[in-house]
A and B are shown apart, each in its own frame.
Chain A
Amino acid sequence: MRLLFVEDSKRLQDSVGRGLRKAGYALDVTGDGNEGLWFAESNSYDTIILDLMLPGLDGLTVLRRLREQENNAPVLILTAKDTVEDRVRGLGLGADDYLIKPFAFEELLARIQALCRRRYARKNALVVIGDLEIDTVARTVKQAGRNVDLTPREFMLLEYLAARRGEVISRSEIEAHIYSDSVDLISNVVDSAICSLRRKICPGNARPLIHTRRGMGYILEIDPR
């Protein structure tokens, strides 16, 4: 999942950014409103975390412009402004969630996960595909009752594939949603990750769940046509 974090506090950029990356999210960070708007217009984000008091362009203006452009990326407002009027204004302009500083990092993570699920029209935190069970809250995976040990990045990849179950997902889409710009996109990092994931969730290749569509991408399904 790819996130955009627009926050002018350098310290929050560093600490929250590090936490989100450690949690497996691909993350773009900026401290300027204009730059944040540009990022949001140029990329498809699974969630945008937006501060309100920003240099350049304030958060509410960024949000309004995004909604005017019919950009439906989920937006979580993360701000020190705590009055009811502020919340109503933010949510009224199209924000999907509102979190007031100071916040618990775990709560921020949970809200981001909920927004990501909602983006793919999924309400249940538990995704079941055949004998594969993905708990998007506990961030655990079980297959036929046994725990599957995945790295955060692998989990994120599996969650993204499961979120778009039955759809063919191109490499570029995976790159855009799972990897940050720092990754060399010319490399075969996606193929390697898919290969690693397959080994873990389909050890014997008896009944593969991740299928390759040559020249198109990958699809997660029990028995795709």
Chain B
Amino acid sequence: MNSIRRRLTVGLLTGFCVLWASAGAGLYLNLRAGLLAEFDATLLARAQALSALTRQEKGNVELDFPGELIPGFERGRPVDYFQMWRADGTTLEQSPSLEGNQLSYQAGVAETPRYSDLTLPDGLPGRSVSLRFIPQGSEEAPDVPPAQGAETSVVLAVALHRTGLDHRLNLLVTTLLVVGGLLAVATGFGVPAVVRRGLSPLDGLAEQAATIDVASLQLRFPTADLPAELLPICGRLNELLARLQASFERERQFSADLAHELRTPIAELRSLAEVALKWPEEPAATTRALQETLEIALQMDSIVTGLLTLARCEAGLQQRSCASIRVAALLEEIWEALADPARRKQLAVSWDVAEDAWVETDPAMFRSILTNLLANAVEYSPEGGSIHVRFETGDAPWQITVSNTVDNITPAEVPHLFERFWRRDPARSSCIHNGLGLALTRAFAASLGLEVNAQLTASNTLTLTVRAESASVRSTSSR
């Protein structure tokens, strides 16, 4: 499984292991070099001591020291060895501790000392230094250099047992390995714990996210005490949840509205059919029943179409186009279908719309908005009431107001006018309206960037206003 914790743990463990190993190796090499340098310095000091005691007189080279002065080169419990060669490679002198064995002669050795590891005659590991030098003059005149052409160089090799050095190096390696092992174990336990602790806010988020489902979209991720790295993630997740909640709420409301609004027509349809089948009637009654069935089907179609249009509009999926529309002509066209009902209710209608007023917007949605406003005014005006339609420009580029007298609406009900399926009569006995007209009006208006609102004045006049903030108008002369 692709896990951040695992990747972090593996990465950190690998990193720490490499770090500890590098540190251990570095420390070992450093200490080894120090010990070796110290050992080599001792070796060189022995060699230099021997070279200082070497004299040359008249072409003869002699070691001018008694063996008891440097007991380390004696037999018995020998620990040190030396051998001196003439320039031609013949042995000039060697320590008794060599017991006739030879140290390796390095003919080309330079003035600078050369160190090398070797196996000593006693079979133990050792380390030697070889150097070439020209012995000093006789003891009587040590500062007098040998005569020109008489001087000769010798090669000296001094070897020491390195058992002590190897023992210390082995101890160092063991110590480093033990400490490294302990560090590795501590790292093995510590890193996962630290990673777990460090990722605990993430675990908390994951646990909370796991509890969120459709029924708990109101939950939000807490942002208090959250690490700075997780704050933007939580913020985005909370925004996403809010959007999801709103979306689900809309869907739920849509389904609930649809189900509720369709229950009654479906009940009508079902009981009509069941009763007709159970107690068949004469053809005339059957024709009536079929006519009613058609009416119910049309009513349901109107509800479903209205709701789907509303849903599309709210989701921003409604297709839009743009055209220049002459407002007065459009109002006249719409009014043709409403004139008869208005006459029957003896409504006094007045217009204040410039003949040459134009707006540029979507023709279908704009027509729907105006149709709903005018139909609403005719429907809810009392007998003998009045309707006034006005197109004007003012603070906004343009606005249309449709005012009509009402006698059965209260100020508290005005904010509900644009809610879908809201009807003053909760019984919804009327099959003429599906309760979506003004909800669609607001949705269309929002889609076109228009603002629509309602106001109820003290004189019982309801005014519905459609206001444009950015659409253009070409003329505003009053007719």
Contacts and interface: CB of A to CB of B under 8 A. Distances in A.
Interface in B244-272: 259-260, 263-264, 266-272
Given A9-B429, A22-B278, A15 B263 contact: no
Interface in B426-472: 426-429
Identify the interface centre among A12, A80, A103: most chain B CB within 10 Å of its CB: A80
A12 B264 contact: yes
A80 B274 contact: no
A35 interface: no
B117 interface: no
A27 interface: no
Contact of B267 (A31, A80, A106): A80
Interface in A44-94: 51, 53-55, 58, 80-82
Interface string B269-296: 1111011101100000000000010001
A101 B428 CA distance: 15
A11 B273 CA distance: 12
Contacts of A105: 270-271, 274-275, 278
B275 A16 contact: yes
B263 A100 contact: yes
A22 B275 contact: yes
A12 B278 CA distance: 16
A55 B426 CA distance: 7
Contacts of A9: 264, 267-268, 429
A8 B270 CA distance: 17
B395 interface: no
Contacts of A12: 264, 267-268, 271
A102 interface: yes
Nearest to A19: B275
Given A101-B264, A102-B263, A15 B427 contact: no
Given A11-B268, A18-B275, A103-B270, A55 B263 contact: no
Contacts, number: 76
Identify the interface centre among A11, A16, A55, A102: most chain B CB within 10 Å of its CB: A11
Given A15-B268, A103-B270, A104-B270, A58 B426 contact: yes
Secondary structure of the B contact surface, majority rule: helix
B270 A80 contact: no
Given A22-B279, A101-B263, A101-B266, A53 B271 contact: no
Given A11-B272, A18-B275, A19-B275, A102 B267 contact: yes
A204 to B, nearest CB: 33
Interface string A27-49: 00001000000000000000000
Contacts of B428: 8, 53
Nearest to B270: A102
Interface in B299-317: none
Contacts of A16: 271, 275
Interface residues of A, number: 27
B425 interface: yes
Interface in A99-156: 100-106
A178 B360 CA distance: 68
Nearest to A17: B275
B272 A15 contact: yes
A98 to B, nearest CB: 14
Nearest to A99: B267
Contacts of B278: 19, 22, 105
B438 to A, nearest CB: 20
B292 A11 contact: yes
B271 A19 contact: yes
A16 B429 CA distance: 16
Contacts of B274: 19, 104-106
Contacts of A22: 275, 278-279
Contacts of A54: 427
Contacts of A104: 270, 274
Given A22-B279, A55-B425, A58-B426, A15 B264 contact: no
Contacts of A82: 259-260, 263
A116 B113 CA distance: 127
Contacts of B267: 9, 12, 80, 101-103
Contacts of A15: 268, 271-272, 275-276
Identify the interface centre among B267, B269, B272: most chain A CB within 10 Å of its CB: B267
A18 B279 contact: yes
A80 B260 contact: yes
Contacts of B263: 80, 82, 100-102
B296 to A, nearest CB: 7
Contacts of A14: 292
A80 B429 contact: no
A103 B269 CA distance: 10
Given A11-B296, A19-B279, A80 B271 contact: no
A31 B428 CA distance: 11
A104 B274 CA distance: 8
A107 B279 CA distance: 16
A54 B428 CA distance: 8
Nearest to A12: B268
A123 B429 CA distance: 37
Nearest to A56: B427
B282 to A, nearest CB: 13
Contacts of A10: 429
A210 B312 CA distance: 68
Contacts of B426: 53, 55, 58
Contacts of B272: 11, 15
Contacts of B276: 15
Contact of B427 (A18, A55, A101, A102): A55
A133 to B, nearest CB: 24
Interface of A: 8-12, 14-16, 18-19, 22, 31, 51, 53-55, 58, 80-82, 100-106
17 contacts: A8-B427, A8-B428, A8-B429, A12-B267, A12-B271, A19-B279, A22-B275, A22-B279, A51-B427, A55-B426, A80-B260, A80-B267, A100-B263, A101-B264, A101-B266, A103-B271, A104-B270
The 10 tightest CB contacts between A and B, nearest first, are: A80-B263, A101-B267, A19-B275, A102-B267, A105-B274, A102-B266, A8-B429, A55-B427, A11-B268, A15-B272
Given A101-B266, A105-B274, 4 more contacts: A15-B268, A53-B428, A104-B270, A105-B275
Interface of B: 259-260, 263-264, 266-272, 274-276, 278-279, 292, 296, 425-429
